[in-house]
Amino acid sequence: MIQIPRGTQDILPKDSYKWQFIEDTLIDVCEKYNYQEIRTPIFESTDLFVRAVGDTTDIVNKEMYTFKDKGDRSMTLRPEGTAPVVRSYIENKMYGDPNQPIKVFYNQPMFRYERQQKGRYRQFVQFGVEAIGVEDPLIDVEILSMLMAFYESFGLKDLELHINSIGDFDSRKEYQKALQEHFRPSIDEFCSDCQSRIDSNPMRILDCKKDKNHPLMATAPKITDYLNEESLSYYEKVKSQLDKIGIKYVEDPNLVRGLDYYTHTAFELMSTSDGFGSITTLAGGGRYNGLVEMLDGPKETGIGFALSIERLLLALEAEGIEIKNPHTLDLYVVTIGEEARDYASVLLSRLRKNKLTVDMDYKARGVGAQFRDADRKGATYTIVLGENELETGQVKLKHMATGEEVETSIENLGEAIK
Ligand code: HAM
């Protein structure tokens, strides 16, 4: 038997309403903040991610689904949403749009070849937002406020927002040097990835999953000690504004994020719920001041974040928050005999045009089995259609929960239900 690929999951009809509810709720928040949806292709040129995410990151080095197409071009199933959005922003010259900044959201599957565990999949759905074309601490605050609004709109409470500034490129140069001096004497004790990153990208060492408990990690220099005046004042403004609007945060000087394009504000939202499991990051994001230019666009900057719906569902589960199935079935038509079945199929199509949710039996079951089926399907009302009903044009509309019956003409059935 062919099985589902490892790290992927089917969302079955019994659960899909949860996804729809989550997506609708998140889109609602986006509306409030005036963000519009963007949809980009599932695959892009491999080069886009190599350049944007960075060739020393785990995503690019180990996790990409890369393949050659029939024209011998290297393509990659997108592992994240920011690079494609920025590519589209440049390609569609959105920087020339009079309506600035460009504020978009996306809700799309991403692909990373990771080791499967709770909360970590090879295909997962990221809901993300990006604001491009503005460098202002207030838009950073808008993005952070949106992140919290996303989670709070579900009533989630066990949340901890971690923020940091990883400064501008100048601040980072000094910091990279300090990290090299700190790690180099003992670099033999680190994994082979870290050994190669000490020269190419020492900040990546701080994000290493294998060596995260090495004692030198805790004593490593902090980026916040290397921020130049401009970076520092940007960070201060973001924090003071967060204080003003009452968004709580924890400063986390070790937060560097797993992608290379970040500058200044970087953040992750953690679940502090006991039941959540070992991967506690619900969402992550930050500012990316060099990315648009790096992808051959103009000198514009952006900020955004993404969460996965899979982890949001885990957080809801961990906090015992249930999503109610909003699906209702207004009427189930129980039929007796061939003629009644034919008639029912016409009746259903009329009632559906009347905006009612209606169903019938298609398996030629007996009356008792049809009532059981109506019950299973959660029908609010049933009617029985037999020879007699067809002749008189009258039916008994039965309320399933109370057993109460009301007589009505088939003609008026829709109105009677409403
Ligand atoms: P990221 O931290 O790589 O950032 O991913 C963001 C979120 O996607 C994570 O916090 C997590 O919720 C979810 N996620 C990542 N990998 C997996 C996985 N294997 N299984 C389930 N969920 C996962 C980015 O992707 C950036 N593009 C975010 C961003 C937007 N930065 C600026 N704008």
Give pLDDT tens digits for 106-129: 999 999 999 989 999 999 999 999
Q: Is residue 174 part of a domain?
A: no
Q: Is residue 55 part of a domain?
A: yes
pLDDT at 250: 97
Do 354 and 313 share a domain, yes or no? no
pLDDT at 295: 97
Mean pLDDT of the 321-345 span: 96
Stated as kind and residue range, the H or E segment containing 396 is: strand 394-399
Residue 61 has pLDDT above 80, yes or no: yes
pLDDT at 66: 98
Do 301 and 343 share a domain, yes or no? no
The sign of the torsion formed by the CA atoms of 165, 166, 168, 173 equals: positive
Q: Ligand 1 in contact with 85 (CB < 6 A)?
A: no
Let me know: does 380 contact 335? Beta carbons within 8 Å.
Answer: no
Cis peptide leading into residue 101 (ω within 30°): yes
pLDDT digits (tens, 9 = 90+) for 286-315: 999 999 999 999 999 999 999 999 999 999
Kindly report the three-state secondary structure assignment for every residue of 249-277. CEECCCCCCCCCCCEEEEEEEEECCHHHC
pLDDT at 369: 98
Q: Is residue 282 part of a domain?
A: yes
pLDDT at 186: 94
Do 53 and 158 share a domain, yes or no? yes
Residue 254 has pLDDT above 90, yes or no: no
* Paired tokens of 239: 């924090």
The one-character DSSP state at 63 is -
Q: Provide the pLDDT confidence category of residue 34 given band limits of 50, 70 and 90.
A: very high
- Among 258, 291, 318, identify where a domain stops: 318
* Strands across the sheet containing 379-385: 358-360, 329-335, 379-385, 394-399, 405-409
Residue 328 has pLDDT above 90, yes or no: yes
Q: Ligand 1 in contact with 311 (CB < 6 A)?
A: yes
Do 241 and 361 share a domain, yes or no? no
Residue whose CA is at the smallest distance from ligand 1 atom 14 = 308
For ligand 1, mutation pick of 102, 125, 160, 281 (most atoms within 8 Å of CB): 281
302-308/281-288 β-pairing: antiparallel
Q: Is residue 213 part of a domain?
A: no
Segments forming the whole domain that contains residue 52: 13-168+228-318
Q: Ligand 1 in contact with 84 (CB < 6 A)?
A: no
Tell me if 236 is assigned to a ligand binding site.
Answer: no
Do 300 and 368 share a domain, yes or no? no
Q: Ligand 1 in contact with 284 (CB < 6 A)?
A: yes
Angstrom distance (rounded) from CA 205 to CA 264: 19
Tell me how many domains the chain contains: 2
Q: Provide the pLDDT confidence category of residue 390 given band limits of 50, 70 and 90.
A: very high
Tell me if 80 is assigned to a ligand binding site.
Answer: yes
Angstrom distance (rounded) from CA 50 to CA 262: 15
CA of 337 relative to ligand 1 center, distance in Å: 56
Task: Give the percent of the chain with pLDDT over 90.
Answer: 92
Mean pLDDT of the 306-326 span: 95
Q: Is residue 253 part of a domain?
A: yes
Mean pLDDT of the 68-90 span: 98
Q: Is residue 29 part of a domain?
A: yes
Angstrom distance (rounded) from CA 272 to CA 281: 9
Do 127 and 106 share a domain, yes or no? yes
Do 63 and 158 share a domain, yes or no? yes
pLDDT at 274: 87
In the block, which residue shows the tokens 């079935």?
329
Q: Provide the pLDDT confidence category of residue 99 given band limits of 50, 70 and 90.
A: very high
Residue whose CA is at the smallest distance from ligand 1 atom 16 = 120
Q: Identify the CATH number of the domain in which residue 308 sits.
A: 3.30.930.10
Do 343 and 306 share a domain, yes or no? no
pLDDT at 307: 98
Q: Ligand 1 in contact with 307 (CB < 6 A)?
A: yes
Do 261 and 335 share a domain, yes or no? no
Do 346 and 285 share a domain, yes or no? no
Task: Give the percent of the chain with pLDDT over 70.
Answer: 100
- Among 318, 345, 380, identify where a domain stops: 318
The one-character DSSP state at 71 is T
Do 342 and 310 share a domain, yes or no? no
Q: Is residue 193 part of a domain?
A: no
pLDDT digits (tens, 9 = 90+) for 62-78: 999 999 999 999 999 99
- Among 318, 343, 366, identify where a domain stops: 318
The number of CA neighbours under 13 Å toward the Cβ of 88 is 20
Note the pTM of the prediction, 2 decimals. Answer: 0.93
pLDDT at 258: 85
Q: Identify the CATH number of the domain in which residue 364 sits.
A: 3.40.50.800
Residue 49 has pLDDT above 80, yes or no: yes
pLDDT digits (tens, 9 = 90+) for 270-283: 999 988 877 889 99
Residue whose CA is at the smallest distance from ligand 1 atom 21 = 120
Q: Provide the pLDDT confidence category of residue 345 given band limits of 50, 70 and 90.
A: very high
Angstrom distance (rounded) from CA 301 to CA 137: 12
Please tell me which residue, 88 or 197, carries the higher pLDDT value. 88
Q: Ligand 1 in contact with 302 (CB < 6 A)?
A: no
Do 25 and 64 share a domain, yes or no? yes
Mean pLDDT of the 309-324 span: 96
